[in-house]
Amino acid sequence: MTNSIYPDLSDGAIEAAASALIASFEEATGDTLTVPTPVERIAENFLGYRIEVTDQGLFSDPDYLGGIDFENKTILVNASVEDHEAGMLSQSPTSLAIMSYTDRTF
């Protein structure tokens, strides 16, 4: 069964969305992205998401590292990963591709 709100995305669709997002970001900012990808900057400043670190509810369990509340444009990060040097978002550029695909922001 296909879910039209949150469709299953193939790896190719995710890669295409990520590439389109990066191209759109580079065009809008004049920056050329390098590794590590500034995921937090893209999420907050370019896509308009708010990042919230929490240990409440589902995130009281450290096995749940994070999630995205699309309705409220909020990225939830488990407080247990807050102290990691690279941060959860820096390691998850796929999250941005999914956000941009869902929001159709590119």
Specify the higher pLDDT residue, 38 or 56. Answer: 56
Is residue 21 domain-resident? yes
Is residue 4 domain-resident? no
Provide the Cα torsion 14, 17, 46, 96; round to 10°: 0
Q: Could you give the C-alpha distances from 50 to 19, 27, 32, 36, 106, in angstroms and in order?
A: 22, 22, 23, 20, 18
Is residue 2 domain-resident? no
Cis peptide before 36 (omega within 30 of 0): yes
Each residue of 52-73: pLDDT tens digit?
988 999 889 988 888 888 899 9
Is residue 3 domain-resident? no
Domain around 52: 11-103
pLDDT confidence bin for 26, thresholds 50/70/90: very high
Q: In this model, does residue 106 exceed pLDDT 50?
A: no
The whole-number pLDDT of residue 80 equals: 84
Element (H, E) at 28: helix 11-29
Q: Rounded to two decimals, what is the model's pTM?
A: 0.64
Specify the higher pLDDT residue, 106 or 23. Answer: 23
pLDDT confidence bin for 83, thresholds 50/70/90: low
Is residue 42 domain-resident? yes
Number of domains the chain is built from: 1
Is residue 91 domain-resident? yes
